[in-house]
Structure 1
Amino acid sequence: MQTSIPRRHALALLAATAAAMPVASAWAVDAGAQARSFVTMFGNKLVGVVNSDISLEKKKQDILPLLEQYVDVDAIGRYCLGRYWRTATPEQQTRYIKLFHQVLVNAITDKIGDYRGVTFVVGSSAPAGEDTAVSTVINRPGQPGADTQWIISTTSGSPKVVDVVGEGASLRLTQRQDYGSFIARNGGNVDALLHALDKQIANHH
């Protein structure tokens, strides 16, 4: 079972209908500008930590509040559980969200040591359903630029990252498929996934 958070993504971007073009276009420009500004701010903070001369352990500590503030981990977690979120008991939901936070944090902080001298360029934005997709190119020394999309939602009341698109696959969609397949193989038992996540966290170094 794969319980790590992949960095790949595939997401279809939705266009505004012709009939609503004037209103939709005005909304898209405003939402797109706000989303690009948010990604620029969040990205600069992340890069500032990643490129700093502090210890790896301190980098991990400094990344945590940024993730909690600017990434809607609860929403990503609910999405990743898919239809099983509705069948889970309130106790299972609470436990799952807590475990998912730790799994996601581990997956992200484990990668920090692989990055140094990172720069990024914010490009265009486009509607992605009710959210906004912001294109960026992430550059690392000696490697080709990585085209990455950040899916930004404002449903929580402020802009937050709800997905990352890279290498043609969606972080949350890929993870939902992994979790769904695992639970299905275990007779639809959500507790089986919770046990697996518990074990993954316990074995994390």
Structure 2
Amino acid sequence: MQTPFPRRHALALLATCAAALPAAPAWAVDALAQSRSFVSMFGNKLVNIVNSDLPLEKKKQDILPLLNQYVDVDAIARFCLGRYWRIATPEQQTRYLKLFHDVLVNAITDKIGDYRGVTFVVGTSAPSGDDTAVSTVINRPGQPGADTQWIISTASGSPKVVDVVGEGASLRLTQRQDYGSFIARNGGNVDALLRALDKQIANHH
């Protein structure tokens, strides 16, 4: 199984910015505006921590509550398991959600130290199925701008990040393909994936 959460996705989850509204039907304006405000708020909080002079461990501690509050980790986890979510037992589902959360948090917080002087170029917001896509360009000193699209859902009752698209690749689609292939190679056994994730977390430093 490939290393979960490619670098572009882990890095992208650490920064975002406000997005300008494009022309849209009246019924869509509220959803677009809500997503824009959400991304701006969430991004500002992240950037303030990432660009601060706080020790790395303190940055990790401060970012964790933001991820828990503003990223719909469970929804992303269920999507990534794909059809295997439906055949997993309740015990396997519960264990998987916990492992997925730990793996995602590790992947994101491990990259915090890579960021300094983050700034953004405002992009656009547009409907994306039932969700809203907010486009941004993330800039760091000495690095090319990274086009990043944030998929925001309100299915939980409040805006939350449910996907990040970096360099044209979706975090959740990439991960679902990886997990699906891994489980298929192991005879459709969900426990094989759970053991692999457990091992990865145990080996995390």
CA pair 122-37 structure 1, distance change in 2 beyond 3 A = farther
Q: Which residue pairs with 1:17 in the alignment? A: none
- Report the AA paired with residue 129 of structure 1: G
CA offset digits 1:73-130 (Å, max 9, x no partner): 0000000000000000000000000000000000000111110111123321111110
RMSD (Å) for aligned C-alpha atoms:
1.2
Q: Which residue pairs with 1:132 in the alignment? A: 132
- How far apart are 1:27 and its partner, in Å? 2.3
Q: Which residue pairs with 1:36 in the alignment? A: 36
CA offset digits 1:176-204 (Å, max 9, x no partner): 00000000000000000000000000000
Higher relative contact order (CA 8 A, sep 6+): 1
SS in 2 for 1:5: coil
Looking at structure 1, the residues matched to 196 and 67 of structure 2 have their Cα atoms a distance apart, in angstroms, of: 23
Q: Which residue pairs with 2:56 in the alignment? A: 56
Q: Which residue pairs with 1:193 in the alignment? A: 193
Q: Does 2:146 match 1:119?
A: no
Looking at structure 2, the residues matched to 83 and 5 of structure 1 have their Cα atoms a distance apart, in angstroms, of: 20
Q: Which residue pairs with 1:75 in the alignment? A: 75
Q: In 2, are the aligned partners of 1:3 and 1:197 still within 8 Å (CA)?
A: no
SS in 2 for 1:157: coil
Looking at structure 2, the residues matched to 135 and 102 of structure 1 have their Cα atoms a distance apart, in angstroms, of: 27
Looking at structure 2, the residues matched to 68 and 122 of structure 1 have their Cα atoms a distance apart, in angstroms, of: 25
Q: Which residue pairs with 1:180 in the alignment? A: 180
Instruction: Using structure 2 for the length normalisation, give the TM-score.
Output: 0.90
Gaps of 5+ in 1: 10-23
- How far apart are 1:3 and its partner, in Å? 4.0
CA offset digits 1:136-171 (Å, max 9, x no partner): 111101112111000000000000000001111000
- How far apart are 1:4 and its partner, in Å? 1.6
Q: Which residue pairs with 2:106 in the alignment? A: 106
Q: Which runs of 4+ in 1 moved over 2 A?
A: 6-9
Looking at structure 1, the residues matched to 27 and 121 of structure 2 have their Cα atoms a distance apart, in angstroms, of: 24
Looking at structure 2, the residues matched to 141 and 102 of structure 1 have their Cα atoms a distance apart, in angstroms, of: 30
Q: Spell out the pairing of 1:82-93 with structure 2 (5 A cutoff).
A: 82-93=82-93
- Report the AA paired with residue 151 of structure 2: I
SS in 1 for 2:187: coil
Q: Which residue pairs with 2:20 in the alignment? A: none
SS in 1 for 2:204: coil
- Report the AA paired with residue 188 of structure 2: G
SS in 1 for 2:156: coil
Q: In 2, are the aligned partners of 1:7 and 1:171 still within 8 Å (CA)?
A: no
Looking at structure 1, the residues matched to 125 and 103 of structure 2 have their Cα atoms a distance apart, in angstroms, of: 29
Q: In 2, are the aligned partners of 1:103 and 1:197 still within 8 Å (CA)?
A: yes
